[in-house]
Amino acid sequence: MRPYTIIFSTETLDGRIADPTGFSRLSCEEDFELQHMLRAQVDAVMVGSRTAVVDDPRLTVRLARGWSPLRVVVDSKLRVPPSARIFSAPGKGVLVTVEGHGGDKLWEYRRRGVIVVESGRGRVDLRGAMERLAGMGVRRLMVEGGGGLNYVLLKERLVDEVWVTLAPYVFGAGRSMFDGVESVRARLALYYNKILCGGWVHLRYRVVYS
């Protein structure tokens, strides 16, 4: 059993979530509100280590009514420091990493109240990690990237929906919403669309697995 998983992202018309410098502020106000609304409706929100290091997000609910969910970071190499804002609330931050780091490397995370989930060796076993999250009461999971995490989750068939907002920009280069090294073919079924802020387009898809 795993959580029902929704990827949420905002990208340019040419499919970029960040330009080569790392600039990624693409959302308009209504898009931010949708993002926080979904956070308030899930049990946990997940990001990859690169997103956590570059953006240092809080992943809390501020623009909608509701409680902030668990904040999960997938980090096989412990790149995200224990002082990161994602871990600022004891008992609300979750570090998903590989087995074998040793208690001394994980001690400072645990001292700060971070829940540590060890799954897989060498690389994180995401399916196993998500089963562990389900065991912790996570029924609905929101994923906010980055592109590498989105790619692996889709490749491993662990995604149920994709919510994407198309921003009226073109970068020409940068990081993709699904950033991987192998070809992945996935069929998406559109079930909702809405114009935001007069120029952004919000789309919701269900992932169809055959």
Q: According to the model, what pLDDT value does residue 182 have?
A: 82
Q: According to the model, what pLDDT value does residue 184 have?
A: 83
**Residue (of 66, 68, 65) closest to 88 by Cα position:** 68
77: confidence class by pLDDT, cuts 50, 70, 90: very high
- CATH code: domain 4-208 is 3.40.430.10
Q: According to the model, what pLDDT value does residue 181 have?
A: 73
Percent of the chain residues past pLDDT 70, beyond the cut? 100
pLDDT of 128 over the 90 cut: yes
State the Cα–Cα distance between residues 38 and 43, nearest whole angstrom.
10
Q: pTM of the entire structure?
A: 0.95
CA distances (Å), origin 7, targets 107, 142, 169: 31, 6, 21
